[in-house]
């Protein structure tokens, strides 16, 4: 950067072509202060004596219960039919187990939302904490609305 002089005695139009170091020094001082403050925080640790255990893989599979709801509103507990009135008692029994099993709901696409919401509220009210849904992957035509699953029929000439 070039800076001129404000001195009126020396009437030369001499330009000073030196780098102004003041902004660079300010930035360096700010960085130094930041590093001085943060360095002790990075090195701070607490010494604790943790217990040593062997790491053996868990061989027990988590228990899960498949709850299926068909299009007519029929409920199936692990593939066996069950009336909706007995469902709350089954949920309460499963909530008492340790660890709690995961309830996997598999509902038909035409199942009424009202029934599904009622069953979910019943499971939550019984104390079950793990609730999941089983879905099937979307077909190619549902994933890409612009593509058709079957080709369009060809136009037939009119006679």
Residue 111 lies in a domain: yes
pLDDT score of 151 more than 90: no
Tell me which residue range forms the domain holding 75: 64-135
Does 153 have pLDDT greater than 50? no
Cut 0.85: pTM above it = no
**Does residue 158 register a pLDDT over 80?**
no
Question: Does 120 map to a domain?
Answer: yes
Residue 73 lies inside a defined structural domain of this protein: yes
Q: How is residue 139 written in tokens?
A: 């077909």
Here the tokens at position 97 are: 């187990």
pLDDT reported for residue 142: 52
- Whether residue 39 lies inside any domain: the answer is no
| Structure-block tokens of residue 87 | 């469902």
Q: What pLDDT is attached to residue 59?
A: 67
**Which residue did the predictor score with more confidence, 53 or 84?**
84
Helix (H) or strand (E) holding 33: helix 22-43
To the nearest whole number, what is the mean pLDDT of the chain?
Answer: 78
| Residue at 112 is within a domain | yes
Residue 71 lies in a domain: yes
User: According to the model, what pLDDT value does residue 150 have?
Assistant: 45
For the ranges 10-19, 76-85, 97-106, 114-123, the lowest mean pLDDT is seen at 10-19
Q: Say which DSSP state 16 is in.
A: B
The number of beta carbons lying within 10 Å of the beta carbon of residue 94 is 20
For residues 119 and 73, is the Cβ–Cβ distance under 8 A?
A: no
In a domain, 44, yes or no: no
Q: Report if residue 158 sits inside a domain.
A: no
CATH number at residue 106: 3.30.420.270
Dist. CA 67–CA 119, nearest whole Å: 10
State how many domains the chain has. Answer: 1
């Amino acid at each position: 950067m070039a800076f001129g002089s404000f001195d009126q005695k020396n009437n030369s139009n001499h330009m000073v072509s030196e780098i102004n170091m003041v902004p660079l020094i300010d930035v360096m001082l700010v960085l130094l202060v930041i590093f001085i403050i943060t360095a002790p925080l990075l090195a701070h640790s607490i010494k604790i004596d943790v217990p040593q255990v062997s790491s053996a893989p868990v061989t027990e599979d988590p228990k899960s219960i498949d709850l299926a709801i068909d299009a007519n509103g029929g409920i199936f507990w692990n593939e066996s039919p069950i009336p909706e009135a007995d469902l709350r008692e089954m949920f309460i029994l499963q909530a008492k187990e340790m660890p709690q099993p995961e309830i996997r709901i598999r509902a038909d696409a035409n199942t009424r939302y009202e029934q599904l919401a009622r069953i979910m509220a019943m499971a939550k009210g019984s104390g079950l904490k793990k609730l999941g849904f089983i879905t099937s992957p979307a077909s190619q035509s549902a994933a890409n609305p612009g593509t058709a699953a079957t080709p369009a029929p060809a136009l037939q000439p009119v006679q």
